[in-house]
Chain A
Amino acid sequence: MNHEPNDPRWLKLAASLHAEPSPTTLARVRARLAQRTVAEPAWLRWLARPAALALSAGLLVVSAVAGATWVSTNTVRVAAEDSATFTSVFVGDESSLGLPVTTTDGVSPADSQEATR
């Protein structure tokens, strides 16, 4: 026993008391373990493990961030593509504002009107 020189002598008697676990301990622990296995589904026990829970939470956060990044990147690209389409339609080279225009070779629509007069 650990006894310092300046400890009172009677303190040694603290070591004179001990206890034994009940002889039925092993059987009772086994029964309780079996009962716990039946009572709790495997997935719940797995979920209760802190390490697994932390890992799952980490994966969830990483997935959420990756998903948000992907969505924002693709939204910008689609928007850019859409704006290019509108520009080409409304302010296109032919200045038609998207209206169907039939042209004759070498004559612009304005010229053809004048020629009609």
Chain B
Amino acid sequence: MAALETLLERFGTPMATLARSMLRDGSEAQDVVEEALMRAHEGGPGFRGERGVRTWILRITANLCRDRLRRRRFNAGSLDGPAPIDHVELRFDPVEGWDEAMDQEVLARRLDAAIVKLPDDQREAVILRHRLGLSYEDMSDTLGVPLGTIKSRLARALEALRTELKEWNA
């Protein structure tokens, strides 16, 4: 049985980032993080190594997020648009080596708004790859889909983002 403190300390940030980025609802995301921790604690990771535990606990979190999104659609969903980053308590951390002339935070917010518009599977892929920094192999383990599917989802997502943010491509 994995210690709760250790799981939270090591994986709390990626879990919360994934849940809030996917669900766009602070309280629902917090509930998912708690539920994922409970399942991980009860399931017991055994010996998986650090990388194995991370993909395993992110898989639990991703599955819970999908369940919530499915349930939301089933219940006709919210009529409100996707919540902005402040509402879902996503914190902005400046990226190193960015061009000072461009307002990084404004661009980050616009990029986030564009990511929110992606279909769930593409959004999930972009968040795991570009927000949490997972490798293709780890993404495949986390999402339980083949590498080729991961790459095609990312390619389609990137194409949609390029279209959405076309003025930045120059």
User: How big is the B interface, by class?
Assistant: 35 or more
Mask, B87-99, CB within 8 Å of A = 1, is 0111111110010
Given A11-B130, A32-B38: A21 touches B168 (CB 8 Å cut-off): no
Contact A16 B95 (CB under 8 A): yes
- Max chain B C-beta neighbours (<10 A), residue from A2, A10, A25: A10
Q: Give the CA-CA distance A74 to B151 in the complex, in Å.
A: 64
Known contacts A7-B158, A13-B111; A19/B29 CB under 8 A: yes
A window 33-80: CB within 8 A of B:
33, 36
Q: How far is the CA of A33 from the CA of B107 in the complex (A)?
A: 41
Structural contact, A17 and B91, CB atoms closer than 8 A = yes
Of residues 77 through 126 on chain B, the ones whose CB sits less than 8 Å from some CB of chain A are 85, 88-95, 98, 104-105, 107-108, 111-112, 115, 126
Are B4 and A1 in touch, CB under 8 angstroms? no
- Do the beta carbons of B17 and A17 come within 8 Å of each other? yes
Q: Does A33 contact B38, Cβ atoms closer than 8 Å?
A: yes
CB-CB < 8 A to A3: which residues of B? 130
- Cβ–Cβ < 8 Å partners of B60 in chain A: none
Q: Given A19-B17, A26-B4, A29-B37: A12 and B98 within 8 A (CB)? A: yes
Residues A20 and B13 in contact in the complex (CB < 8 Å), given A29-B38, A29-B41: yes
Residue A8, interface by CB 8 Å: yes
A10 touches B16 (CB 8 A): no
B16–A16 CB distance below 8 A: no
A21: contacting residue among B13, B90, B111, B130, CB under 8 A: B13
- Contact indicator B93/A33 (Cβ below 8 Å): no
A8-B169, A10-B165, A25-B8 known; A17+B85 contact, CB < 8 A: yes
Q: Which of B34, B98, B111 contacts A28 (CB 8 A)?
A: B34
Most buried by B among A3, A16, A30: A16
Q: Is the CB of A10 within 8 A of B168?
A: yes
Contacts of B91 in A (CB 8 A): 17-20
B108, A17: Cβ atoms closer than 8 Å:
yes
Q: How far does the alpha carbon of A18 sit from the alpha carbon of B131 in the complex, in Å? A: 8
Q: Is A14 an interface residue (CB 8 A)?
A: yes
B52-86 at interface with A (beta carbon < 8 Å): 85
A sample of 20 more A-B contacts (CB under 8 A), given A8-B161, A17-B93, A19-B17, is A1-B130, A1-B133, A8-B158, A10-B111, A11-B130, A14-B112, A14-B126, A15-B133, A16-B92, A16-B105, A17-B17, A17-B90, A18-B13, A19-B89, A19-B91, A21-B15, A25-B33, A29-B4, A29-B41, A30-B4
Chain A residues packing against B (C-beta within 8 Å):
1-3, 7-8, 10-22, 25-26, 28-30, 32-33, 36
Query: What would 8 A/B residue contacts be, using CB atoms closer than 8 Å?
Result: A8-B158, A14-B111, A14-B115, A17-B17, A19-B19, A20-B91, A25-B33, A30-B4
